[in-house]
Amino acid sequence: MSLVGQWTAIQSSLPEDWEVARLRLTVADRSQAGRAAALLGPANAGRYASFVTFQITRRGGGTSPELARRLLGRLDAERIVARLKLVGADEAATTAQPAGRHATLTEQWDGLEAELPDDWSDVYAEVELASSDYLEPGALLLAPLNPSRVPGEIAFRFRVARRFGYGASGQMMRRCSERLDEEGIRGSVRILWALSDTRPVYTQGPVWYVGGRAV
């Protein structure tokens, strides 16, 4: 089945009042995963190994269902074979999350970490703050992660390493999220890139290049 067809089937299975759908694309040929992630770039997709993750938002900002359909159509046009899976969905209002309540940064990180494969090793992530008023206190509370400021945005990026190498530990990332939550600092967490089962030899780990420089 085409990816557009897979998304149509997933969309029809969603609850009537769904708001956000989180999806995972598993590319059959791992060498094509980078191209798949690039084509899904407008959906703020993140890639690790042969997996590409992104989310679709029914209303408001974000990736609309129709935009997702067009982006997946590009993959079909390039004959990229992959399987699309729904990994989670949020409804308009639930007893666990009342309407108007935003997930805390810690809850967001826990959810993202749970979606990573069991053998994940390195992550490049971003915390986008809800207000510029949060920049200075946010930088201070995130300092243990050695974050870098994203030019032109109210956001910080940083690395997380599961066992060794560059980046803070997942436990430290969670603690920093808790500190932000305790200060009432709101925002969103995203995993931009992730790698699985890296085994560095005579180095401290893999290096990503963003805008021509290593991160």
pTM over 0.85: no
In the chain, where the domains are located: 3-91, 105-214
Distance (Å, whole) CA 207 – CA 193:
11
Select, from the ranges 17-21, 145-149, 208-212, the one with the highest average predicted confidence (pLDDT). Answer: 145-149
Q: How much is the average pLDDT of 64-89?
A: 92
* 19: pLDDT strictly greater than 90: no
- Two tokens, residue 5: 């067809």
Length of the chain (residues): 215
Equal fold, 3-91 vs 105-214: yes
Per-residue pLDDT tens over the stretch 167-191: 888 899 999 999 999 999 999 999 8
pLDDT at 48: 78
Distance (Å, whole) CA 52 – CA 194:
10
CATH number of 105-214: 3.30.70
Kindly list the distances between the CA atom of residue 156 and the CA atoms of 24, 192, 197, in Å, as whole numbers in the listed order: 24, 12, 25
What is 3-91's CATH topology? Answer: Alpha-Beta Plaits (3.30.70)
